[in-house]
Structure 1
Amino acid sequence: MPNILFLCSKNKLRSPTAEAVFCNIDGWEVSSAGISRDAEVHVSLEDIEWADYIFVMENAHKKKLSKKFGSAINGQSVISLGIPDDYEYMDQELIDLLKSKVPAYVK
């Protein structure tokens, strides 16, 4: 069962949407967090160690993640989805983007 972590800046719109979209997929454990200091839920070392797959919304998130947790990111796949901060929580277009991108990476 893969553990999947979704990250964005503040954990308010994109990553919580991803968690909501994929939380009922059989065999997937999902969680979300934010990278910024003012995030609703901050990403922790435990989150990084728990995750088999880490999805970030933008390349900038991947850079921040590597800077903060570089040595802890061992065998996990860190995938940038290229989804800008242009969407509201549960925006249908955001949901469609997530559904079209994420499953292709999870084995």
Structure 2
Amino acid sequence: MMKKILFVCTGNTCRSPMAEAIFNHLKQSNQLAVKSAGVFANDGSDASQFAKEALNEKGILCKHNSSLLSEEHVEWATLILTMTNNHKQLVIERFPHAGRKTYTLTEYAQDDYATSQDVSDPFGGTLHNYRNTRDDLEVLLKKLLGKLEE
């Protein structure tokens, strides 16, 4: 059965497009589809320059146009993974019926639910900040893939 994962962050130019690109790069299964959106995104923006650079360093291509989280996204997804607890709360406030399939990425990927820390936002930061976020995402996404492919 096809699993459809939606990554959600704020503007859909840094964390969620990085998560989408890394996940696509890592996944082996054709039974996993992925998209990303932002709770305060402007439709059609490119991923940030540093996000693309940080991904390119790992040989990961990021072709991206941002999109504002919509009912269509929520209906499409079988699993919604947010970058922060605030994003999770916003998704559930706007789309109460999505509550049963919405988690923070950390909460869902980690085995110990005590670690519900947010994925740090590199927006406005240096390339170094973006590399740190990329590396954090890679660790979490490998755990997520392990869980989904079980």
TM-score range, shorter chain: 0.7 to 0.9
Higher strand share: 1
Deviations 1:6-42 (A, max 9, x none): 0000001110011111225222100000001546310
How many residues of Structure 1 are paired with residues of Structure 2 in the alignment? 105
The alignment's TM-score, normalised by the length of structure 2, stands at 0.60
Gaps of 5+ in 1: none
The 8 Å contact of residues 2 and 29 in structure 1, kept in 2 or not, is answered as: yes
Compute the displacement of 1:98 (Å).
3.2
The residue that corresponds to 2:84 in the other structure is 58
CA RMSD of aligned residues (A): 2.5
Residue identity in the other structure for 1:68:
R
Gaps of 5+ in 2: 44-65, 107-117, 123-128
Higher relative contact order (CA 8 A, sep 6+): 1
The alignment's TM-score, normalised by the length of structure 1, stands at 0.80
Alpha carbons of structure 1 residues 90 and 84: separation in structure 2 relative to 1, 3 Å: closer
Identity %: 30
The residue that corresponds to 2:9 in the other structure is 8
Give 4+ residue runs of structure 1 displaced > 6 Å after superposition.
Answer: none
Say whether 1:36 aligns with 2:24.
no
Say whether 1:79 aligns with 2:80.
no
Q: How does 1:82-101 map to 2 (within 5 A)?
A: 82-86=118-122, 87-88=129-130, 92-101=134-143
Which has the larger Rg? 2
